Amino acid sequence: MEILNLNKDNFEELVLKAEGPVLVDFWAPWCGPCMMLSPIVDEIAEEKSGLTVGKVNVDENQFLAIRYGIDSIPALLLFKDGKLAGRSIGLRSKEELIEKFGL
């Protein structure tokens, strides 16, 4: 499954207007825990059909980070029908994330 590169120009269309759940990974290239979480997010994207997954580089997209109250990364937000339905901050295992978000 393709992982979307999200930014302020495409976020509304790809996340807020999406049909089905969208998991959004807020990350930065200098963030060690983000680098450790990235392959876990990739695995979830590959294994869960019907789930759209996208990533937001907070250094390049501060507007989105501020808009969604991201003050610590990695942060995963789950959107359903355009509404925020769940949030996870910090490094978590795949099993924890699947359980937390009901994936």
Q: What is the pLDDT of residues 70-100, one digit of tens each?
A: 999 999 999 999 999 999 999 999 999 999 9
Is 68 noted as a catalytic residue in this protein? Answer: no
Residue range 5-38, pLDDT digits in tens? 999 999 999 999 999 999 999 999 999 999 999 9
Q: Please give the model's pTM, rounded to 2 decimal places.
A: 0.95
Q: How far is CA 41 from the centre of its chain?
A: 8
Determine the pLDDT at residue 2: 84
Instruction: Tell me: pLDDT of 1 over 90.
Output: no
Could you please state the CATH topology (level 3) that the domain comprising 4-101 is classified under: Glutaredoxin (3.40.30)
Is 34 part of the annotated catalytic residue set? yes
CA pair distance 81, 77, nearest whole angstrom: 13
Among candidate residues 31, 44, 70, 77, the one labeled active-site is 31
Q: Which of 4, 23, 34, 44 is catalytic?
A: 34
Task: Say how many residues make up the chain.
Answer: 103
